[in-house]
Amino acid sequence: MMTPVLYTCAGSRGLRATWAAEEAGTEIDLRILPFPPRYLAPEYLELNPLGTVPLLIDGDTQLTESCAIAHYLATRGGTTDLAIAPGERDYGEYLDYTYHADATITFPQTVYMRFAIFEKDKGWADAGHAYAKWFHKRLVKVEQRLDVREFLCADRFTVADICVGYALILAQSVGLDDGVPQRLKEYRARLTARPAYQRAVAREEAGRTALNREG
């Protein structure tokens, strides 16, 4: 079986994929790109015309959605406790929270980052801050779910936790943490204490350091 190749930028949504691979013990060929790759690594557009990260290439299979890649890497070798199978308790909830992570939670974060951080000099900062409020309001579903649970689904750590957890990690790193409820901060602390998460971060940082050295 070929080793999947994961293209990403350190700390980006691709961390979901790197983390899932570490949790599952799935071997990947991790290739760290400069950010943003569409400008700083234009040859990458030949692989992914979108210019976005992450990108997973596994033989003829190519995936560009971080949550899909995380699920794929967690189950590539067969059924694992990192995913919930059809017929198992919380199967529907597993799918829902895995998709909710990017479509509902990370989306307003990315708009906030673009308008309030990357392009704030263009006069769009107010729009970015409006999306920050949207992000905080959209945390209520996860907060209520974790009111009586340690993890989101089936009383165990799964890819759904990786996908939602990344959004909370991103919030801390881009200045959105003031509106994150304490319960979710405690949940994030449990997730980031996991050895596989720490290995994933260290691996991406090592790749970024090597890239900077080459540059």
Q: pTM for the whole thing?
A: 0.97
* Domain 5-82+196-214 in CATH 3.40.30.10: yes
Tell me the per-residue pLDDT of 72-88, one tens digit each, with 9 for 90 and over.
999 999 989 999 999 99
- 18: tokens are 């790197």
- Banded pLDDT at 215 (limits 50, 70, 90): low
Domain with CATH 3.40.30.10 in the chain: 5-82+196-214
CATH number for the segment(s) 91-194 = 1.20.1050.10
Task: Decide: 71 and 47 in contact? Cβ < 8 Å.
Answer: no
Q: How far apart are CA 20 and CA 139, in angstroms?
A: 22
Sheet order of strands, 55-58 included: 29-32, 5-8, 55-58, 61-63
Q: What is the pLDDT of residues 94-126, one digit of tens each?
A: 999 999 999 999 999 999 999 999 998 888 899
Give the strand pairing for 55-58 and 5-8: antiparallel
Cis peptide before 34 (omega within 30 of 0): no
Check pLDDT > 80 for residue 1: no
**Which residue spans of the chain are classified as CATH 1.20.1050.10?**
91-194
Of the chain, the percentage scoring pLDDT greater than 90 comes to 93
Closest alpha carbon to 90 in 149, 24, 16:
149
Average of pLDDT values for 171-191? 98
